[in-house]
Structure 1
Amino acid sequence: MELTEREYRLATLFFSKVGELLSRAHLLELVWGIKGDVSTRTVDTHVSRLRRKLELDGRHGLRLRSVYQSGYRMEVCSTSAVEQRVAN
């Protein structure tokens, strides 16, 4: 699977900060190098693509979760949640 440079940079950030909330503004500054108070859907679009490409929906033990009006957090799913998904 191929990731764009920005998707790779986002993935690196999320995997290095599992459990931490990363705000959209912070991601814009770190990945795009632009001031975080800009109103844009760029981060959301890239995160959505990254989530789909890397299957970060919990089925493999990790979930990239949207935190309403705040940003995103990479979460480790419990084993039972993963097993339950596999069983269904």
Structure 2
Amino acid sequence: MDDMNVHTNPQDFLPLAPRLSRRERAAVYVALGEASTRAGRAVGVDGSTIRRWRQRPEFRADVGRIRLRLLDGAGSSLADGAGR
């Protein structure tokens, strides 16, 4: 079984939206399960900043929306593969 179009690398998403803020880019990394330190390094802030953002309801909401989009995309890919 191949992985079809399932993305696990944040870099797969970030070129699609070059105008995202650091916080929005960090939400992509967090949604994909990256540690705060690694997400912070990737977007140019300290890991403690990511940990602080994780406490904010709006950041958690962004992460939740991104995860839903990822799941929806994965579900669509699975459904497309099942129809073959």
TM-score (norm. length: structure 1): 0.36
Kindly indicate which of the two structures has a greater share of residues assigned to strand: 1
Kindly indicate which of the two structures has a greater share of residues assigned to helix: 2
